[in-house]
Amino acid sequence: MNKHIFTSLLSLFVIVGFTSFINPHTVSAQPIEWEEFDLSPDNYNSIAYGNGVYVVVGDEASMYSSDGKNWYPAMTSLAGVLYSVVYGDGKFVAVGSSNNTSTSNPVAYTSTDGVIWSPSFEALPPKVNTGAGLKKVSYVYDNINEKNLFVAVGSDLSNLLGGSQIPYIIYSSNGNEWFKATLPMGVNGTASDLTGGYNEDGEVVFLSSVATNPLLSSSNIIMSTNGGANWFYPDDALTGLDGFSGAAMSYLNGEFFLGGTISDMGSKLIYVMSSSDGFNWEQHEVGSTVSFFPRFNFAYGNDNYISIGAEESIYSLGGENWEFFTPSFDKSTDFGVYPIQLIYADDSFVLLGQNELGESIVAFPKRLNDSSEGLSSKSSSIFGTRFCSAGVTTFCRPQNGFVNNNPLISIYTELLGLYQQLLSAMQSENSL
């Protein structure tokens, strides 16, 4: 009788305890193996996917691929440094600067296949002074007004402000013909990030982060609700962003996300902010940061949110509870890749980065049991743990390129073994 009671209690302890501690929200996860594909000799700054084609753009160069593994140079020679590319309305749109000096001009290109590119220099509106360039481009389809919306942001050197920079923002309905946006009165700084999405009423909203003092991670948010033509400070209407210095922004799965920090008693805490309309923000604390200026890039897929930074990487299974996963994608780790941009395309996360030699690469997470495939199973959780068909008495490693590293798992694995030994002994005793 006592044996039966002990067996029942042990079974309950193992099942309840084990299933509790493999909860992905309480377990950190770490990438264990990625498959890299070389893009050298050129350096690339941005990646996009559309119509079955991957495209990367960078320093006077662009490449395309149908599978993300075999890459080919574009047939068109590109002038300038391209910092961002997006796919929308059946075409790729890339933006950047004619060079990296104070005499640069904004540049933009379009391509339907990533092979042949057409410049739209002539169509760009005049800048205020020299030193203009574009850093980010975004695309949203306006369902209410049934029109395509492209918006690009960057900076322009303004002599009127003693040599400081002011945002340079343009908008287009086709990626070829561009118009200069109207900015808030007295705005200054560099518009370094941009995202577009929809509020709860289905109206298009564009947000841009204007870095007023990059050395202090200081930034403001400006907003447009009419297709990028007019911008305003929504500060008086914003809630939940007091003291927040945003480093990156994204629109994912029906919500806006900001990644950045809040200073607290001399230290910095990483926060993820989420909003359904761009005005009202909910704070999600992640933890303290070791990086002076964390740089995040968000991506969403398989019901998972991932944000990567130069020194910190975080994830969430619902967009609310965020946790670190280690090691990060820092060069100092064994992974050896510095992240530039993470996207989710063709049922897989895809990372554009640089390896330890400073060479551009594209990387796909591998499955543990099938190294030839990337993260492609929609039914499996990226950071979760699955059970084998045998149930809790067998612990299966996830087939998704990530493993749980909670030390309690090993304890419960030992308890499972003890349980099986005890059960076997009892069965042998009963057979006598």
Q: Measure the CA–CA gap between 416 and 409, rounded to whole angstroms.
A: 10
pLDDT surpassing 80 at residue 421: no
Over range 267-287, report the average pLDDT.
87
Secondary structure (H, E, C), 358-418: CCEEEEEECCCCCCCCCCCCCCCCCCCCCECCCCCCCECCCCCCEEECCCHHHHHHHHHHH
pLDDT above 50 for 330: no
- As given in the structure block, the two tokens for residue 30 are 């770490």
Tokens of 15: 């099942």
- Where on the phi/psi map is residue 114: left (φ > 0), alpha (ψ -120 to 50), or beta? left
What's the confidence (pLDDT) of residue 430? 61
DSSP element (H, E) containing 426: helix 408-431
Single pTM value for the model? 0.76
Give the H/E segment covering residue 29. strand 29-31
pLDDT at residue 125, rounded to an integer: 80
Q: What is the mean pLDDT of the chain?
A: 74
State residue 88's pLDDT score. 97
Whole-number percent of the chain with pLDDT over 70: 63
Cβ partners under 8 Å of residue 55, min gap 6: 47, 48, 49, 62, 63, 64, 85, 87, 92, 94, 111, 114
Query: 24: pLDDT confidence band, cut at 50, 70 and 90?
Result: very low
Secondary structure (3-state) at 220: strand
Structure confidence at residue 51 as a pLDDT band (50, 70, 90): very high
> What DSSP element (H or E) covers 223?
strand 218-224
Q: From start to end of 225-291, where are the E strands? A: 244-252, 255-264, 267-275, 282-288
| Whether the predicted pLDDT of 276 surpasses 80 | yes
Answer whether 178's CB lies under 8 Å from 168's CB: no
- Identify the three-state secondary structure at position 248: strand
Lowest mean pLDDT across 208-217, 248-257, 310-319, 323-332: 323-332
pLDDT over threshold 80, residue 2: no
Contact yes or no for 395/409 (Cβ under 8 A): yes
Give exposure, 306-336, as e/b (b: 16+ Cβ within 10 Å): bbbbbbbbbbbbebeebbbbeebbbbeeebb
pLDDT, one tens digit per residue, over 59-108 is 999 999 999 999 999 999 888 899 999 999 999 999 998 876 666 788 99
Q: Between the CA of residue 141 and those of 82, 144, 204, 300, what are the distances in Å?
A: 23, 9, 8, 19
Question: Is pLDDT of 239 > 90?
Answer: no
From the list 230, 275, 229, the residue with the least C-alpha distance to 251 is: 275
- Whole-angstrom distance, CA of residue 277 vs CA of residue 255: 8
Helix (H) or strand (E) holding 340: strand 338-345
What is the structure's pLDDT at 92? Answer: 98
- Min mean pLDDT across 37-46, 216-225, 361-370, 423-432 is at 423-432
Calpha distance 250→209 (Å, rounded): 11
Q: 257: pLDDT confidence band, cut at 50, 70 and 90?
A: very high
User: Tokens standing for 71?
Assistant: 């890459």
Q: Which of the pair, 53 or 1, is modelled with greater confidence?
A: 53
pLDDT at 410: 47
Task: Check whether 8 has a pLDDT greater than 90.
Answer: no
Q: At which residue do the structure tokens 């950045």 appear?
A: 260
**Residues 361-390 pLDDT 10s:** 998 876 433 333 333 332 233 433 222 222
- CATH number given to 34-406: 2.120.10.80
Average pLDDT over residues 282-307: 80
**Whole-angstrom distance, CA of residue 175 vs CA of residue 93:** 6
Helix (H/G/I), strand (E/B), else coil: 187: coil
Cα 316–Cα 320–Cα 326 angle in degrees, nearest 5: 30
Residue 300 has pLDDT above 70, yes or no: yes
297 against 80, higher pLDDT: 80
- Compute the C-alpha angle 328/332/335, nearest 5°: 55
Report how far residue 251's alpha carbon sits from residue 66's, in angstroms, rounded to the nearest whole number.
25
> In this predicted structure, what is the pLDDT of residue 132?
72
In this structure, of 148-152, 281-285, 396-400, the range with the lowest mean pLDDT score is: 396-400
Cβ pair 31, 365 in contact under 8 A: yes
